[in-house]
Amino acid sequence: MSGAENGGLNYGENRLYNNPFDTDTESELVEGSEYGSSDDPDEFQPDDIQENLHNGVEENNAGVAENNAGVAENNAGVAENMDYDDGVPHEMEFEPVIPGAQMTRDQAILILAAYSLRHHMTSVAMQDLLSFLKLLQPGALPSTKFLFDKELDKIENSRYIFCCLKCGARVPDGSTHCVVDECRHEFNKKKSLCKGNFCIYIPIVQQLKDFFENHEYTTFPKNHKKETDYLSHVCNSDYYLKQLREGKISQDDFTLIFNVDGVPLFSASKASMTPIQCALLEVKNTRSHVFMCGMWFGAEKPNIDVLLEPFVDECCTLSETGVQWTNSLGVQVVTKVHPFVCTSDAVARPVLRNCQQFNGYFGCDWCLQRGRYVPKGGGNVMCYPYQTDVVRRVKEGYEQDALRAVREGNLVNGVKGPSLLSLLPTFDIVESFVPDYMHSVLLGVIRFLVNLWLDSKSGGKAYHIDHDDLAKVNRRLLKIKAPSGIARAPRSLEERKHWKATEWRNFLLYYSIPVLTGVLPRPHIQHLFLLSNSINLLLQDKIPRDSLVNIDLALCKFVIGMEDLYGEENCTFNVHQLTHLVGSVRNYGPISNVSAFMFESNNGRLKKMVSGTHHIPSQIAGKFILWRNLPVMAKKCQIQQARITVLNLYEHLLTTKRKVRISVHINDGSVALGRPKTRDLDAGELLALDTLFGVIDVRIHKVDFYKKVLFDGIVYQSSSYCAGYKRDNSVVLTNNGTYGRITEMVVVEVCICGNELCECDPQPECIVFLKELTVRSSRLFTDRQVGITKSRFPATVTETNRTIAFRLSDVHRKCVLMRIVPSLYAAPIIKTEEGD
């Protein structure tokens, strides 16, 4: 049944696909099928129901299908396995894994591999499943886990590098004892595999070859001839353009961002892993394509030189000779890949640079501020009060300090000695490290401030939040209905110990100013606003270059204010890092480009690959390689040409997104969800349409009302629909700066020709009706000293009854609407590629 026949509009049959293992909760998978005939139109349907819509075969009859395949099913199999060459269909080779099956043997193995990863199966569970399948059809599939693994395409040449369990020195391959004369401890490989103190290295070159050949990706444009007025991605950043102009990298090259950070594996054990992860900076949505090329495992801190040595060697080769791969035209291509940026927290960074930790003198990675110890509590803490005459570190100075430190046997300006990372071409040992805002700002400064406000030791101080005020703040937080673009709903500050980095980000960017107004003193709110506004601006997808001076001034003023409002002892290293944040943005673009979010998210995925307490690195490495290799296997078994039921199942195993059953695709790129309703437009809506189209008495051919619409991967909902839910997707900011609340979303066919005998065939488009929210000025959110004359982070707004019409494509962002009596605030959501 078509959409038109079912009372709706059928405007296209595009099918939306998602990234493998993507857990983004904002977008919904939408089938391009036409309307069904039953069920709640707004209910999300599981994939098996979706399959029935496509193939028309009831799954309950699967038990008898093997004996009753029939001519119809065979014909369907032939029809579904047709390929086209110059417009002429021909039958593809299709050999089912068993008679009557809908997939080939290779496709069945692919499905099993994806199934094992989706459900984190142990080796025992996989063996039991294979044994069960063997009983159903002997010989059809591998009968043991060993045989199943042999069927998989795996990246070869991964190798183990062991260290002495006593002194930590590297043990050469084939050696039976530690090579250090003072140690000579006996080496036992089996014992080391159980206890740890070793690393496993997976060559990145094969992973890159696999990525270039088998993954679909798009890259940011490169233009080395001139600087743009905006910083939007790494390819138009200062350091990147400098490397292009100097010929150190070329237009066709790629650059790597990498991360090294420890991850605890078990709460009741000291065992941890330290992976080396990297991603390509030029690739859009790069968080979906994270590579792991090395991993340390053990109860002790890693021998960093042992972990980094193979990575540095391979990166040098990639930078000089590149990786050879075959493109879709069968042409051999050589692509050079250069190590470019390292993002790590303040604990791992000095280890990688072979420098003093932040709690020692000259502990800053980017300047030569000495720091000083001041009393706090019962001891002393290292603090970094703001200074204007600080000398910045440079690569040449670091190298000189490293050589001098080796000669003298002492630290020089906080440098202990050379780092292996200094050998990397195109990598600056100073500037290529960035102050990761996830650790320094979210898990650092804002969390530190909240704990300071709520600390009982702060009692009597102006900024202390007592029990009654805390209850007021919590009530305000819990009343906020965040849109679905914010993965985690607001939680009470009493649960802050369990907050994730994204929750601290949401608190800083959206909630903090409104919920703390009237609780914290005005100077402290204005001080917090400097940080909130600056981070908001540095997270924008386009940052005007001429705004960076004022943002830097605002952050410096915040650092100065820390000493004035909270005392010198609270000028922590995380606060000091704010003075280097704008420099990082100039070099590499918005701070989200080089944040550790994607690597921390992947750390969670790696931890889920552990299904037992033995041979943990082998478990993680094997499953990670299999996960990265699924597209290779899918291409080999031609999964895209498989029957729709098989393809749906494979896609279901690769995603946690839900599918909506009823959808209509509009020509303007929007997707209307659910069943439409029809009614006449009221006078206010007609007037709004006249204003939108610039024509009096717009002629409307057809109109359908929808409660939910998907556009550019974002779900919008009407205010009436959101009223009964915990999420509010109805408040938006348009491209011209208008705030509003969505009252209706309509798909209309409008004619503006003015001819009474109109025979036009107007194209449908999605129109949004808003109740305007007017912006009120607020002195609280201005600071002329640092150039903030008007801020909308957040905006103070007032509700009106004025109806405005906009095209859905003119909606800029969704907003968080917060009613903190007597004020109403709207905060636009930052759209980044960062994970949850």
How do residues 107-129 score in pLDDT, each as one tens digit? 999 999 999 988 888 889 999 99
Q: What is the pLDDT of residue 657?
A: 63
CA-to-CA distance for 659 and 151, rounded, in angstroms? 32
Are 458 and 464 in contact by the 8 Å Cβ rule? The answer is yes
Strand partners, 333: 325
At position 180, the amino acid (one-letter code) is V
CA-to-CA distance for 145 and 133, rounded, in angstroms? 12
Alpha helices in 609-706 (DSSP H): 616-636, 644-653, 683-693
Q: Are strands 714-717 and 731-734 parallel, antiparallel or unpaired?
A: unpaired
Long-range pairs for 80-85: beta carbons < 8 A, 24 or more residues apart: 80/643, 80/644, 81/641, 81/643, 83/641
Q: What is the pLDDT of residue 156?
A: 58
Q: What is the pLDDT of residue 112?
A: 93
Q: What is the pLDDT of residue 792?
A: 66
Supply the DSSP symbol for 763: P
φ/ψ of residue 308, rounded to 5: -85, -25
Burial of 723 (0-12, 13-18, 19+ CB in 10 A): exposed
Instruction: Give the helix/strand (H/E) hosting 576.
Output: helix 573-577
Distances (CA, A) of 687 to 317, 464, 698, 751, 805: 66, 52, 9, 15, 9
- The stretches in the chain having pLDDT less than 70 are 1-94, 153-157, 224-226, 656-661, 696-698, 752-761, 778-780, 790-792, 833, 835-836
Distances (CA, A) of 753 to 47, 672, 806: 45, 26, 20
Distances (CA, A) of 344 to 10, 124, 257, 610: 50, 37, 11, 23
- CB-CB neighbours of 724 under 10 Å: 6
Alpha helices in 294-446 (DSSP H): 304-320, 348-353, 395-408, 437
What is the gyration radius of the CA atoms in the chain, in angstroms? 30
pTM of the model: 0.85
φ/ψ of residue 774, rounded to 5: -85, 145
Q: What is the pLDDT of residue 561?
A: 96
Are 741 and 730 in contact by the 8 Å Cβ rule? The answer is yes
Nearest to 163 by CA among 189, 136, 125: 189
Give the 3-state secondary structure of residue 152: coil
Q: What is the pLDDT of residue 619?
A: 82
DSSP-derived secondary structure for 195-233: H--EEEE--HHHHHHHHHHH----B-----SS--SEE-S
Q: What is the pLDDT of residue 791?
A: 66
Q: What is the pLDDT of residue 494?
A: 95
**Which tokens sit at 791?**
């801020």
Q: What is the pLDDT of residue 758?
A: 62
Instruction: Give the helix/strand (H/E) hosting 291.
Output: strand 291-298
Q: What is the pLDDT of residue 91?
A: 39
Q: What is the pLDDT of residue 756?
A: 61
Are 140 and 133 in contact by the 8 Å Cβ rule? The answer is yes
Helix-strand-coil percent breakdown of the chain, rounded to 5? 40, 20, 40
Query: How far is Cα of residue 282 from the mean position of the Cα atoms in its chain?
Result: 15
Strand partners, 806: 768
- CB-CB neighbours of 489 under 10 Å: 15
Q: What is the pLDDT of residue 38?
A: 32
Q: What does the pLDDT look like over 319-332, one tens digit per residue? A: 999 999 999 889 99
CA-to-CA distance for 469 and 463, rounded, in angstroms? 11
DSSP-derived secondary structure for 509-573: IIIHHHHHBTTB-HHHHHHHHHHHHHHHHHTSSSEEGGGHHHHHHHHHHHHHHHHHHH-GGG--H
* Cα first-last separation, the chain: 40
